[in-house]
Structure 1
């Protein structure tokens, strides 16, 4: 469909990535500097809209379906490195779409507008990243043996494991779905930062950007850092400080250990 609206390569390779990079600047200004909170999760004060589990499944589903579809379309011509890059992407989103929502305990509702916006973003961003890899980017032969691919893969899976650990720690703060209060998370990266899950996911997509070495993957990594690391994590840190006051660990930073 995009081919009938845009020059597909122009959209995938340049328009979409630069849109996310420019958007990242505004996100840092509005969320990080001005302190404006996106109204979902603990900041959805009305708690109206779509149940958290369902909202998460709906908005993240394109991130699994679109790569599977595009992989089937390019199957006869893909190289090993392209296949591996899509598999990395699918590993993350299989967990995010089919496992993570089922494990959520006591999550708040998400507004229809937020869920719809996230759904549209996931559709466009996923298409840009995957189409660039499969259709347009030229990878050197045996690039899967390159330093950037191996290093990026190590960073990606390190972030992935740390993300799973952080999610588990947060989830186990609540005994069941009927418990809605907040507690101080401890263990793992939470010993150093309030936004351990946000830092871990930012590390993960930084690794992916290094692996893929494409502009759409880099733009997504920048967007993740801006939105959840330098936005959401700062808000969570302030939330914990205000709620727990002197009880909250004084040496714990918001998102960058020992620094921020």
Structure 2
């Protein structure tokens, strides 16, 4: 996954812009309803958690407390992303099936890795829950989730009923970056990696950065091209405040 992250970072930075949303273009396969696409491509994460829980535990039994917290973080994010977020999409452009299938493959792969690690391969000691690393990572995760969720709300409510076209988002993380939602995801999974202190966690965090940061840079340039000096004077970075 780390190797794939480097390839993804290089590809999205130098060769291709992910072809959906405002960057949508023909030639990437049939177009899929965005609500259906998000549901299908994100739900393997939840399937993996359910499978490894069923495989290793009887109903009502639980792994160690730190494992439970990390599973709660992981599954909570994907309950929102695969079940709640799609149902709240207003309009939305269709997604090329190649993009959906790429995300489906990644979520299946990552879901297998994270769920197997937390529900089968590694049981954290009781002392982990009160360690400084775990507490810090958990707080960073909660901060990132809050940023990500709030940014989604801002984007969802940009247009009034009947309006079309793109507008500049304001408030929250958008005061500092063009893509507050991507920034929130990067913060989320960085916190998860710190709390888990595991190779699966760090690999996931790195891939998240490799996939979202270049897309944030593309979105940032799109805003600059569309809104010109009106956007430039806001002084935002693309996805990492004050850095990129």
Q: Distance in 1 between matches of 2:202 and 2:113?
A: 11
Relative to structure 1, the CA distance from residue 35 to residue 243 in structure 2 (aligned partners, 3 Å threshold; closer, same or farther) is farther
Q: What secondary structure sits across from 1:248 in the alignment? A: helix
Q: Distance in 2 between matches of 1:138 and 1:57?
A: 30
After superposition, where does 1:68-217 map in structure 2 within 5 Å? 68-75=50-57, 76=61, 78-176=63-161, 179-217=163-201
Task: Say if 2:52 and 2:120, in contact at 8 Å, map to a contact too.
Answer: no
Task: Say if 1:37 and 1:43, in contact at 8 Å, map to a contact too.
Answer: yes
Q: Distance in 1 between matches of 2:243 and 2:117?
A: 35
Shift of 1:179: 4.3
Q: Distance in 1 between matches of 2:223 and 2:189?
A: 26
Task: Say if 1:35 and 1:235, in contact at 8 Å, map to a contact too.
Answer: no
- The corresponding residue for 1:227 is 211
Q: Distance in 2 between matches of 1:105 and 1:236?
A: 19
Q: What secondary structure sits across from 1:142 in the alignment? A: helix
- The corresponding residue for 1:21 is 2
Q: Distance in 1 between matches of 2:75 and 2:118?
A: 14
Shift of 1:180: 4.0
Q: What secondary structure sits across from 2:79 in the alignment? A: helix
Q: Does 1:36 align with 2:16?
A: yes
Q: Distance in 2 between matches of 1:78 and 1:191?
A: 40
* Alpha-carbon displacement from aligned partner over 1:165-224 (angstroms, at most 9, x marks no partner): 100111111224x64411111111101110111011100000011111111111010000
Task: Say if 1:106 and 1:180, in contact at 8 Å, map to a contact too.
Answer: no
Q: Distance in 2 between matches of 1:248 and 1:187?
A: 14
TM-score by length of 1: 0.86
Q: Distance in 2 between matches of 1:136 and 1:259?
A: 37
Q: Distance in 2 between matches of 1:189 and 1:182?
A: 18
Farther-moved stretch of structure 1 (71-80 vs 167-176): 71-80
Task: Say if 1:105 and 1:174, in contact at 8 Å, map to a contact too.
Answer: no
**Structure 1 residue runs of 4+, over 4 Å off?**
none
- The corresponding residue for 1:9 is none
Q: Distance in 2 between matches of 1:204 and 1:77?
A: 24
Q: What secondary structure sits across from 1:118 in the alignment? A: helix
Task: Say if 2:41 and 2:107, in contact at 8 Å, map to a contact too.
Answer: yes
Cα RMSD over matched residues?
1.7
Shift of 1:77: 6.5
Task: Say if 1:209 and 1:221, in contact at 8 Å, map to a contact too.
Answer: yes
Specify every segment of 5 or more residues in structure 2 that has no aligned partner in the other structure, as ranges: none
* Alpha-carbon displacement from aligned partner over 1:19-60 (angstroms, at most 9, x marks no partner): x2112212222222x152011222122495111111001100
